[in-house]
Amino acid sequence: MAKVTIDGIEIEVPDGTSILQAARMIGPTVAPPAMCFYTNLPSSGGYCRTCMVEVTKGSEKDPRPMPKLVASCRTQVMDGMVVGNRTSEKAVDARKGVVEFLLLNHPLDCPICDQAGECHLQDLSYENGSAKTRTDFERRTFDKIDIGDKIQLHMNRCILCYRCVKVADQLTPERVHGVMNRGDHSEISTYITKAVDNEFSGNMIDVCPVGALTDKTFRFKSRVWFTKPVTAHRDCDKCCGKVVLWYKGEDVLRVTGRKDQWGEVEEFICNTCRFDKKRTSDWVVEGPTNLSRHSVISANHYEKLVVPNELTLNDIKPLNP
Ligand code: SF4
């Protein structure tokens, strides 16, 4: 076991735990945001730099600070380590810079984007971004591409987090899409518009943190905050069958995997459950979904996820008192 102090709060975690996961064990108040790391995709993380933190004491054995900010999703805790996230001016400032870079090419089209209300970049920009842009050059633009008959790729919005590539790597027998080219020419592409055609491809929609990969059966049907999420399950021979049904009136507008308090899918679901089971009679309804995120999606919903021992900003201590 290793003792680590994050934003003045000490926690003991198993050896090998990353700083990000240790911070999540403390709670959302001290957990850094993450745009590319995804717990259920073990090789994810290390791309977006959103979760960078300052390590002011490396360990009990070697108390020297780490010379640069580190990606908390890819750095393991050491016994006696001291980390600053919210309390580190350097980390906060760097995150602001990362948001600015992520938005360099990302269109500000939230009013017409299906991801609005559940977009991690929207939340990240709101919490860490600046109200003004310092650039006036044109953003990259691409034509929309159909990836199979149920998924649409809108590359303009992609932040190259690689999550969809990792999903395809881990859940599908053969990956037919990836990041092509490098630098500002990078883009997600199927190898010349080959369809991603397998039973678990729909999970790419759920893991995409922005509106780059969207469900064609749901596009433009409703703003997400006008829908009512309901937890349900069915016996499925391909996946766990545990989902959230998004209702508008009597109609199920879309089906997604269940997400945890970090906005990550708990168990991946198959395309049959996602795209082909849109009648209430297909499901055993368990009840209203507990909403954990603080974005507008929870507006007018009373069911909030109760986080045990949730801390407030008053609980965190300055890094250098
Ligand atoms: S399409 Fe979405 S999930 Fe895939 S790399 Fe781009 S932002 Fe990430």
- Per-residue pLDDT for 122 more than 60? yes
Write out the two tokens for 63: 């108390």
Q: Does the pLDDT at position 246 exceed 60?
A: yes
Domain end among 40, 69, 100: 100
What is the per-residue pLDDT for 37? 96
Please indicate, yes or no, whether residues 55 and 27 belong to a single structural domain of this protein. yes
| Domain shared by 93 and 107, yes or no | no
| pLDDT range class, residue 51, cuts 50, 70, 90 | very high
Q: Report how many domains make up the chain.
A: 3
Question: Which is more confidently placed, 134 or 76?
Answer: 76
Residue that is last in its domain, among 191, 220, 249: 220
pLDDT at 314: 67
Residue with the larger pLDDT of the pair 111 and 177: 111
Are the beta carbons of 130 and 162 closer than 8 angstroms? Answer: no
Choice between 172 and 34, residue whose per-residue pLDDT is larger:
34
The answer to whether residue 315 sits within a structural domain is no
Same domain, 196 and 269: no
Is residue 133 a contact partner of residue 20, using CB atoms and an 8 Å limit? Answer: no
Report the separation in Å between the CA atom of 277 and the middle of ligand 1, taken as the mean of its atom positions.
26
Nearest atom (ligand 1) to Cα of 160 = 5
In the reported structure, the alpha carbon of residue 17 is separated from the centroid of ligand 1 by a whole-number distance in angstroms of 26
- Ligand 1 pocket by Cβ (under 6 Å): 158-164, 188, 207-210, 212-213
CA of 309 to the centre of ligand 1 (A): 33
pLDDT at 280: 95
Prediction pTM value: 0.88
Q: Are residues 112 and 205 both part of a single domain? A: yes
| 230 and 165 together in one domain | no
Ligand 1: residue of 37, 105, 162, 213 to mutate (most ligand atoms within 8 A of CB) is: 213
Domain co-membership, 205 together with 227? no
State whether 96 and 107 are in the same domain: no
Q: What is the whole-number distance in angstroms between the Cα of residue 311 and the centre of ligand 1?
A: 31
**Residue 135's domain spans which residues?**
103-220
Residue range 141-188, pLDDT digits in tens? 999 988 888 999 999 999 999 998 888 888 777 777 788 777 878 887
Distance CA 97, CA 95 (A): 5
pLDDT at 124 exceeding the cut of 90 = yes
